Amino acid sequence: MIKVAVTGGAGRMGSLIAGLVTDTAGLRLGAVLEREGHPSVDRDAGEMFGASVAGIKVSDDVAKAMEECDVLIDFTSAEVSMKNIRAVALAGKAIVVGSTGFTPDQKREISSLPGARVFLAANMSVGMNVLFRLVNEAAKLLGDDFDVEIVETHHRFKKDSPSGSALRLAEAVASALKRDPESDFVYGREGIVGERTKKEIGIHAVRAGDVVGDHTVIFGALGERLELTHKASSRETFARGAIRAALWIPGQKPGVYEMLDLLGLK
C-alpha cells in the first residue's frame, strides 16, 4: 500500500486529488497539507474526505509528513514546489509535481538533487502527452516548409504565461526541427515586426473565463494548414494523471521523470 501526502488539501485541486486517493486501490491517504497559517491546519481530514481518513490532522509540515508517507502529490506553484521537492529529496521519497512555471535554474537544481524520485510533468493529461509526441513527429515529417504557431487558452486565474504545456509543445517542435528556444521562440507579436522568419515558433497565450486548458499547434504552409488540438474539459483529467503517477513513481530509481516515461513514449 502506497501512502500519499497531498498539498493544498483544502483547495479545489488538492481536495479533488485527496478524494481520488481514498477511492484508488493501492493508495492510502497518509497526510493532508496546507500552507502555514491556513485555517484548515489542525482540522481533522475526516471532516473533508470521510470517515476512512478520520484522525489525520491537516498539517503544514511537509518534512514530518514525508517521514510516514511514500509519495507527495503537489499542485501549488513553482516556488512552493521547489521547497517541497527539496524536502522530499532529503527524505529520499517520491513526489509528483503538477505545478508549472519553473525557471531553467530551478529545473537544473531539481535534476541535481540526489535521492528523490521526482515526477515533473508540464501536463498530467494522458491525451496531452500523446499530443507532445504527435507534434514532434509531425514537425519531423513536415519539416521547414511549414510555419509553426502555438495558441493556448486558460482560465483568467492562471498566473504563469505561456503555459508549461505550450512551452513543452514548443520544445517538442524545436527538438524535431533543430531550433533554438533562446532565439527562435516568439511570444506574441505587436507593431510592425516585419515578415515572419522561417525559424520562428510562435507562442500565444489567451486568458478568459473558466477555460480549463486548450492547446492548438498550427503547422501552416502555402496552400494548406494542419492543426493539432487538445481540449481539457475538467480538472479531474489532471488529477487522475497525478494518481496514475503516484502509483508508478515510488517503484522507480531516483531521478526525474515525466508522463512520457510512464506511458512508454520516450
Q: Which residues of the chain have pLDDT under 70?
A: 51-52
Provide the pLDDT for residue 48.
Answer: 80
Kindly state whether residues 222 and 243 are assigned to the same domain: no
Report CA dihedral (160, 165, 167, 169) to the nearest 10 degrees: -160
CA distances to 13, 59, 82, 127, 147 from 238, rounded to whole Å, are 9, 24, 20, 10, 30
How many independent structural domains does the chain possess?
2
Instruction: Give Dmax over CA atoms of the chain in angstroms.
Output: 64
Q: Are residues 132 and 52 in the same domain?
A: no
The pLDDT, as a whole number, for residue 17 is 95
User: What integer pLDDT is reported at residue 163 of this predicted model?
Assistant: 94
Q: What CATH number is attached to the domain comprising 111? A: 3.40.50.720
Contact between 9 and 33 under an 8 Å Cβ cutoff? The reply is yes
Check whether residue 116 and residue 6 sit in a common domain. yes
Confidence (pLDDT) at 53: 75
Based on the domain organization, do 240 and 228 belong to the same domain? no
Tell me if 228 sits within 8 A of 138, measured CB to CB.
Answer: yes
3-state secondary structure string across the chain: CEEEEECCCCCHHHHHHHHHHHCCCCEEEEEEECCCCCCCCCCECHHHHCHHHCCCECECCHHHHHHHCCEEEECCCHHHHHHHHHHHHHHCCEEEECCCCCCHHHHHHHHHCCCCEEEECCCCCHHHHHHHHHHHHHHHHHHHHCEEEEEEEECCCCCCCCCHHHHHHHHHHHHHHCCCHHHHEEECCCCCCCCCCCCCEEEEEEECCCCCEEEEEEEEECCEEEEEEEEECCCHHHHHHHHHHHHHHHHCCCEEECHHHHHCCC
Residue 208: CATH number of its domain: 3.30.360.10
Give tens-digit pLDDT for 172-187.
Answer: 999 999 999 999 999 9
State residue 118's pLDDT score. 97
Are both 161 and 208 inside the same structural domain? yes
Is 215 catalytic? The answer is no
**pLDDT at residue 195 in the model:** 95
Is 158 one of the catalytic residues? Answer: yes
- In one-letter notation, the amino acid at residue 213 is G
Q: Name beta bridge partners: 154.
A: 207
Structure confidence at residue 52 (pLDDT): 67
**What whole-number distance in Å separates Cα of residue 74 and Cα of residue 84?**
8
In a shared domain, residues 198 and 228: yes
- 11 and 101 in one domain? yes
Q: Are residues 80 and 136 in the same domain?
A: no
- Is residue 35 located within the same domain as residue 144? no
**Phi, psi for residue 94 in degrees, rounded to 5:** -115, 155
Identified catalytic residue from 3, 57, 107, 158: 158
Same domain, 242 and 115: yes
Do residues 53 and 110 share a domain?
A: yes
Provide the domain limits for residue 253: 2-120+235-263
pLDDT in tens, 234-265: 999 999 999 999 999 999 999 999 999 999 98
Catalytic residue among 57, 64, 140, 154: 154
Same domain, 20 and 75: yes
